[in-house]
Amino acid sequence: MVACFFGVVLGSPTLKLRGDYLAIVTLGFGEIVRIFMNNLNAPVNITNGAQGITLIDPVAIGSFKFSNTTQFLGISISGPQKYYYLLLVLALLVIVINLRLQNSRIGRAWQAIREDEIAAKAVGINTRNLKLLAFAMGASFGGVAGGVFSAMQGFVSPESFSLIESIMILAMVVLGGMGHIPGVILGAILLTILPEALRYGVGPIQVAVFGKMLVDPESLRMLIFGLALVLVMRFKPAGLWPSPERKRELQDAGGAMAELLLQANNVAKHFGGVKALRDVSLSIRQGEIYGLIGPNGAGKTTFFNCLTGLYIPDGGGFVFDGKALLADAPHQAAERGIARTFQNIRLFGNMTALENVMVGRHVRTKAGGFGAMLQSAATRAEEAAIRQRALDLLHYVRIEDRADDLAKNLSYGDQRRLEIARALATEPKLLCLDEPAAGMNHTETEELRDLIDGIRRDGTTILLIEHDVKLVMGLCDRVAVLDYGALVIEDVPAVVQKDQRVIEAYLGA
């Protein structure tokens, strides 16, 4: 629990970092903690400095001590042997826990965050809490390992956990294959065996060949270690045993009287001196398709971002489903029932189409870390329901035959459909589509029209941003026009098309 707590404390300042920067900062934290512990011997001696803490009690279960030799069925089992089997059991337990987490609601959320954090937020994933959970669980595993290590040695010092040890652990992951647990195990085995092989093999070989020791085995170990990593990154960038998905990634180049659902009241957003939204007020009724059009830079996507929590308005606000919308984070908007797609498609490219839609179920499901590890009956039932719902939605958008394909390998039109399916997986009351027909040909656009109309008939209200005026005017019940961040008009399509301000600002004379 102590390690878990400090994992969260040290993880909190790094929440906005990703990739290499996150790895560098966490390695730096390790060095900071080591130096800090080295100096906790004055004015009050807590850690005994570099000399470390001695006389640590061995691991014991009741009267059974792992440090003593035990006779079992006439076989003598020494203390080191007992610790070996204890560590083996703990390692297998950690592997099982990680395998269960990987194929769970939590694991998919972590993978989604790694792929595209903004899109993960948009489908209702609380990225901050999920990141802190990852830090907490990693620290907990490390705490257990450190406790057993110190008990086995009877001694622990800050110098036992140097920077090279942290780099070695990171190298095991990179060498074996990130995102693939069997690959990481292979990397750990290889980098554990390598020093022993060099220690007992390189010295005698040098003496036999050259008649003397030319290079110290320890120095040669680091040289070969560095060379091996360079070769792996050059020729096997996914690792020696990557996950199948990672391997494929590198190989594949209602009517007018309907009740109000959303009310925007004087929404304003400024970026420095640029007024992206100027006191925009509009209303969307339940069950309608509402169009939002305007020239490039008119503020349409900014309005979406304010509504879905990516931006916080500088003025005004929203009332959604009868209550004030206080969504200052995208996952809160998704929880309330607002889902969105993006102008530039934001799928989790290295996850399959099925997994992308399953991630969309995150906000409507409950299984946590312990449920994923224990694989209770309730967790297994929820997981099966998530999968079935995702398959149903892929069928709904007519790409069920691409369920096992990586999202990035789908055609442009299928990617648009997949993004809509993922948004629908959050069970939205309001579906916000940001230029879904962009880049589509006539046939694809007509199919998209049928899909959007079908979504509305099934009870979901739709807010549509689109530059295809013919599509908007033929599909939407009402249309609002923005220009330079201000609302020009909000009315039925027939009236909007004839408005002189719209003609001058957007449609052309």
Q: What is the pLDDT of residues 289-318, one digit of tens each?
A: 999 998 888 899 999 999 998 899 999 999
Whether 272 and 229 map to the same domain: the answer is: no
Instruction: Assess whether 344 and 478 both reside in one domain.
Output: yes
- Whether residue 298 is contained in a domain is answered as yes
Which of 188, 219, 251 is the last residue before a domain boundary? 251
Domain co-membership, 227 together with 366: no
**How many helices (H) and strands (E) are present in the chain, helices listed first?**
20, 16
Assess whether 338 and 417 both reside in one domain. yes
Residues 333 and 298 in one domain: yes
Whether 250 shows a pLDDT value over 60: the answer reads no
Same domain, 317 and 364: yes
Region 124-141: mean pLDDT is: 88
Same domain for 365 and 226, yes or no, is no
Q: Please check whether residue 190 is in contact with residue 175, taking contact to mean a CB–CB distance below 8 angstroms.
A: yes
pLDDT, one tens digit per residue, over 106-117 is 888 888 888 888
Ranked by mean pLDDT, which of 188-192, 211-215, 252-256, 484-488 comes out on top?
Answer: 484-488
The long-range contacts involving 283-286, CB below 8 angstroms and separated by at least 24 positions, are 283/490, 284/260, 284/430, 284/461, 284/463, 285/254, 285/256, 285/258, 285/259, 285/260, 285/261, 285/461, 285/477, 285/478, 286/254, 286/258, 286/259, 286/260, 286/261, 286/429, 286/461
Domain assignment present for residue 303? The answer is yes
Query: Which DSSP helix (H) or strand (E) runs through 155?
Result: strand 155-156
Side chain identity, residue 210 = F
Quote the pLDDT of residue 152: 85
Poorest-pLDDT segment among 16-25, 45-54, 321-330: 16-25
Which range of residues forms the domain containing residue 375? 260-507
Averaging pLDDT over each range in 33-37, 206-210, 309-313, which range is the top one?
309-313
188 and 330 housed in the same domain = no
Is there a domain that residue 108 lies in?
Answer: no
* Domain stop point among 251, 284, 299: 251
> Residue 434: in which H helix or E strand, if any?
strand 430-434
Better-scored residue on pLDDT, 231 or 451: 451
Greater model confidence, 289 or 46: 289
Among 216, 251, 286, the domain-final residue is 251
Q: How far apart are CA 294 and CA 464, in angstroms?
A: 12
251 pLDDT more than 60: no
Say yes or no: 491 and 358 in one domain. Answer: yes
Section 222-233 average pLDDT: 76
Position 257 scores a pLDDT of: 41
Separation of alpha carbons 52 and 40, rounded Å: 10
- Assess if residue 15 is contained within a domain: no
Same domain, 478 and 376: yes
Q: What predicted TM-score, i.e. pTM, was given to this entire model?
A: 0.72
Q: Which residue has the tokens 């069920």?
A: 400
Q: In which residue are the tokens 């909007």 written? A: 496
pLDDT reported for residue 255:
41
Cβ contacts of 85-91, under 8 Å, gap ≥ 24: 86/59, 86/148, 87/148, 90/144, 90/145, 90/148
Q: What's the confidence (pLDDT) of residue 249? A: 53
Spell out the residues 6+ positions from residue 15 whose beta carbon is closer than 8 angstroms to its own: 127, 128, 131, 132
Domain contains 134? no
For the chain, how many structural domains are there in total?
A: 2
What pLDDT, on the 0 to 100 scale, is given for residue 191? 82
Q: How far apart are CA 229 and CA 314, in angstroms?
A: 49
What is the pLDDT averaged over residues 82-89? 88
Partners of 262 in the beta sheet? Answer: 284, 320
Is residue 254's pLDDT more than 50?
A: no
Task: Look at residue 76 and tell me if it is in a domain.
Answer: no
Instruction: Tell me the pLDDT tens digit for each residue of 415-464.
Output: 999 999 999 999 999 999 999 998 888 888 899 999 999 999 999 999 99
pLDDT in tens, 139-175: 898 888 888 888 888 888 888 888 878 888 888 888 8
Q: What is the 3-state secondary structure (H, E, C) of 65-117?
A: ECCCCEEECCEEECHHHHHHHHHHHHHHHHHHHHHHHHCCHHHHHHHHHHHCH
Q: Are residues 287 and 242 in the same domain?
A: no
With 90 as the cut, is the pLDDT of residue 506 above it?
no
> Is the residue at 60 inside a domain?
no
**What's the order of all strands across the beta sheet hosting 323-325?**
274-285, 260-271, 315-320, 323-325
User: Could you tell me if 347 and 246 lie in one domain?
Assistant: no
